[in-house]
Structure 1
Amino acid sequence: MMTPAERRRTGFTLVELLVVITIIGVLVSLLVPVIWAAVARANDARVGGEINILAQSLASFQTKFGDFPPSRIILVEDGGYDVASAPAALDAVPFYAGMSYQSPPPNLGGNPQVVTGAGDKTYAALATQSISFMRKFFSKTQFTTGPAASGIPGGFYDFNGNGVGDQNPIYLEGHECLAFFLGGIPTHTIVGSSYTLEGVGGFGGNPRNPFRPAFLPDGTLDPIGQNRTEPFFEFRAERLVDDDFDGIPGYIDPLGQGPAGRYFAYFSAYGGRGYDPNDVNYNAGAISEPNPVALPFSVSFPVVGGPNPRVTGSPLPNPYTSSLPVATGDKPATFHQPQSYQIISAGRDRLFGTGGQYTDSGTGDRLPGNERRRERDNVTNISNGTLD
């Protein structure tokens, strides 16, 4: 038979419970930061791994075509850029007005972000550059600096896969160029005037018009768009986002979708001719960050207007330099990866930061300047992992 004392001892005392809870709380407080740090490192590694795969895809593209994709381009579906009658400024050109999407992701909004003024290229300069790249990559196609090209199979180049010959030019920035050149023509489900983006499906096998989708708007096979090439990179459809409604998407990194989505920023060095900070400008779009900053930024080729013809104002993000990001005398900024390209992820905090000088060696501050802390978690191809 149990004694009265034994019967009373049926559980833990309040003091014992408090001690146990305190110990558990201390252990949790010690483990949670460790777990979050491990998760953060895993996410950084995931983004870095994807950038490495993109880099391999870009290398394959260069092997096939002799150059990396540009990071800003104009596409005209009738092949005629009509440079002589075009307005001088990019923002005066009637760029593509936009498609009507059936089920837009929650972070869509805005029109093509064309930043002009002191330091930017004219429409004619960018059109001439665009024609040069398109002829280099697709040598049997027809592009002219005058009116519409002739002899296009099917009558037009359906760059955005919407089944009609669009009259206005389509303006692509770096993130869209990455998806277009590595992925190919977008595919859509088309119901009336509503479009649902399904993915990207390579280029058609007809060398005179590889810019046709595999299927016509009525769902029948397009004979011009058959025998398609495989994309250089397998873009996940749910991460292809078209926030300017031109039918050609950019690719967001794996760290967030919806309002947290951020594109992979892609800057081309144009084969050593120099980076152009205006190739990627997110400040007016929904996939952006608060309080964008426009900074003077040196480019390595002459630009239009401004007291210093080598300095331009560019909203964030900007490519990274190993020197000061503005010219010193007649010497332009020195860029990282000067012969190839830069790919930049906004990192865990979803903030790109302004870009500019980054020192990848030494003991000083690698990101000098005010408000550069937001860039420490950026993941790029210029560093192994994050920038910090």
Structure 2
Amino acid sequence: MSPPTDAQIKRIVGTLNERGQFRSLVSMATTPTRPQYERMLQDLYHMLHITKPADQKRVEQFYSVRRSKMNVSHNRYREIFAFDRTAVRIPNDVRKWISTATEHAGKKSGNGATIGDVEELREDDSGYLNANVIVDGKGSWWVACQAPLPVTNHPFLLAILTRSATFKHAHLYGASPGTSPIRDLQAFPPKTAIIVQLTGLTEGDVVKAHQYLPTRVGHSVTYEPSAHLAAGQPSIKLTLDRTTPLPKTSSILSTLTLAPASSEKISIPPMTVHHYLYEGWPDFGVPRGKDVQKLQELIAEVEMKQKEEAAGGCEVWVHCSAGVGRTGTYMALTSLLSKPMYPSSDYSRHPLFDSPIGPLPEPLRNDPIASLVDLLREQRAVMCQSDAQVKLLYELYTEKAQGKQ
């Protein structure tokens, strides 16, 4: 087995991008700009044989980015949106959110599930973040997000502290593994989270990310909620406990404490955050030479850390700058090179993986790399952004298949 040639990679990526263009077009259907795209939408539906209005509506809801379009000031890039379906939602009123879930504890819905396990936060009760829950179809999941902007530092950290991604995952795919993520905030509070940052603050003269960690050991930064949400959301305090160089992974590990500010009266205990900063990956490109091995070591390190902390429900948040190219490639490589975090959780036959735009064309339908990239893009657009990034997936997957790793 050998990886595809550059010409073959270009054709594969071309097919994946064409499907991405379909999703992008449909995503405009739930925004005020729909009239500009109506003719193209109808042509696309005709080509895909989606003729019933009810089916068209389902497709449009599946790929909706309406909340992203409503919150443009919270997006780092104007063309990178978060699908509403898989987007992490943050409680606007944390106290109300916890108390409501507690009231529902033990009650059962018609299908036997605990109500608090799978109910979605209502739109009026939830805040926006450019971040999506991403599953790989065989038991592992992460959160893909943009590098936080100054205006989104608080919602980003609040989402981690309240375990909002776990709740979203439970809503989409059922409450297992684990128990109700909301009730856990009181009975079994989250102990740890992992953040993998795949970009430096600047590349050349371009700002790719903003500093959101304290810069000195022992120091803290406090982030305040938006003024109109101050009554229902706590201030967030982030303290840098220590930094550890990890030469094998070309990374810096920062260990931090994340907690509501001391003045806040809210029953969420502090948690530990392990932040890995990996800077050996150029934007749109891929690591080269020794940096490839160091990236693989980073994947193994994060996998080991997550398993150590699994009992506390350890979420893994991954971001580069936009949260799609390097982020998607990292997740795909983790899926291809590592064992599933929860191997008993098979999402592959889940209804949410029945793509509204149909399966990949042959012969890519049975191609493990193309299928994985397409699956990731069903949950967040443009994942694994460049030809070089898709090629790296094939190269390392081939090496693993040949027993070279």
TM-score (norm 2): 0.24
TM-score (norm 1): 0.25
Q: Pick the structure with more helix per residue.
A: 2
Where relative contact order (Cα < 8 A, 6+ residues apart) is larger, the structure is 2
Q: Over alpha carbons, which structure has the higher Rg? A: 1
